[in-house]
Chains A and B, each alone.
Chain A
Amino acid sequence: MTDTQWNDDDPMDARLRDLANEYNRPTGVVPREAMWQAIAPTVRAAAQAPDIAPAGTPSITRKRRTIAPFAWSTALAAGLVLGIMLEREVLAPRGGTVDTTPRGADSRQVATTTPIPMSGATVVAKAPDRTTQVATTNTPQVERRGARATATNESAPATGSTTTDIGANAQQLYRLAARQTLVQAEALLTAYRASDDQPRDQESMQQAGRWARDVLTSTRLLLDSPAANDPQMRALFTDLELVLAQIVQLSGAPLQAGERELIERAMRDRDLLPRLRSAVPAGATAD
């Protein structure tokens, strides 16, 4: 006898199979008319307005209403992720060093990370070491990229202006991605705190959770990118990651008071909102 099939020759298997059919064996009649009364409005409404469910289907209509405010954030997050991935896949190999994680011999040449200025954020520049020996221009990020390109392409001299352009583009891309993520995070956390006094149902918690998950994805990508070379920015991203992870984790059900307090305390202890606001220039939008 195998586990994968019933064995008809085995009396136990044969009996089990027969008895399994008795499990919750349907009895009585199917209440067709009663169910149709609830379903028919959907059929009528589907024909009149194919994309809008009728009043008889509260769960579906509620879902459509509540999703709308979050749709833009999802689209934005998707754009962010795509942008960062594109930069990594397309720009990094040609432009040289984008990922600052030490990787074998190459890591010696990129051991010093040059921070990418963030809009409105305080930038602390690390003192460059070896790479400063070949740095000759006024733009640290571009210098590093230029030096790296020269070092890795000695047999085929790099086209300086192209590399500089790519480096500048990457820098701009990271700056934009970081700013958008921070704007998103600020909006999310502000909305989250503003809803303190309102009773929250599971649906809205799940929506907030989805929004937080999108921002969390962007935050983690940025943490692993040169955008996090700035120590202050890295610390901000790390704290943000923690709070967002808590919101995501607890978004499956309405929050208990203790759980909410946990998130609130994490935000308060880290001065998260004030730091986010100071990192994002006034008037900045998630464009």
Chain B
Amino acid sequence: MDGQQQQLDEADLIARVRAGDEAAGRKLYDAHVDRVFWLAYRMSGRHELAQDFTQDAFIRAFSRLNEYRGEAAFGSWLHTIAVSVILNGLQKVKRFDQREAVLDEAVMVPSRTRHAEPDLKERLKKAIDALPEGCRTVFLLHDVEGYTHEEIGSALEITAGTSKAQLSRARAKLRESLADFAGEWVHD
């Protein structure tokens, strides 16, 4: 199905949802729920949080469906809401996460011998977690989830240029954090 046809179908579904057709709502939900859920999971790293964020995003979207004017694709509109819900939700659990991270670091004993892959994976995860919130969000949306800078800009209410700058900063920080691994790959 091409994009135009999909948009027409979605417009029809949205009209039916507005008219009270629950089945149409379910179709709309089925068409988008996976991507929203995976995004929420990527950003939160927790299944139960991803579920909460996804539910909240759809609840907000459906309750505000009258505000959707069809100027952008429904998916873009929905993802803007989802990103907002996820970021707000993450703010609420951030304090707890920070405390947990401090405890993790306190009990972690640095090891001299590294097993490249598992260690690198773990280090990369920590490095991504340690990125400033804006950088991390843009990095995950762009490099992991495949959003364009325009889509990111729309979702985060920043310009595409700012999104690019944040991505650049994120990558530079990741390289810097993992610089001590560089030699191993060169000699592989």
Please give the residue numbers on chain A whose beta carbons come within 8 Å of chain B beta carbons, in ascending order. Answer: 3-4, 6, 11-13, 15-17, 19-26, 28, 30-32, 34-36, 38-40, 42-48, 50-51, 53-54, 56-57, 59-60
Contacts and interface: CB of A to CB of B under 8 A. Distances in A.
Interface stretch (B69-77, B103-111, B174-182): B174-182
Interface of B: 17-22, 25-26, 29-30, 33-34, 37-38, 41-45, 47, 50-51, 54-56, 58-60, 62-63, 65-66, 120-121, 124-125, 128, 139-140, 143-144, 164, 167-169, 171-172, 174-175, 178, 181-182, 185-186, 188
Contacts of B182: 11-12
Contacts of B128: 20, 23
Chain B interface helix/strand/loop/mixed = helix
Nearest to A34: B51
A16 B174 contact: yes
Given A44-B20, A53-B59, A19 B124 contact: yes
Nearest to B129: A23
Contact of B59 (A16, A38, A50): A38
A44 B65 CA distance: 12
Given A30-B34, A32-B30, 19 more contacts: A3-B175, A4-B171, A6-B143, A12-B178, A15-B120, A19-B120, A20-B144, A22-B124, A23-B42, A23-B125, A24-B44, A26-B37, A38-B55, A39-B58, A40-B26, A51-B66, A54-B63, A56-B59, A57-B59
A20 B19 CA distance: 43
Given A24-B45, A35-B51, A11 B188 contact: yes
A57 B169 CA distance: 38
Nearest to B44: A24
B17 A43 contact: yes
25 contacts: A4-B171, A12-B181, A13-B175, A16-B178, A20-B144, A26-B42, A26-B50, A30-B37, A30-B38, A31-B37, A32-B30, A32-B33, A35-B58, A38-B55, A42-B59, A43-B22, A43-B26, A44-B22, A45-B63, A46-B63, A47-B17, A47-B18, A53-B63, A56-B59, A57-B63
Contacts of B178: 12, 16
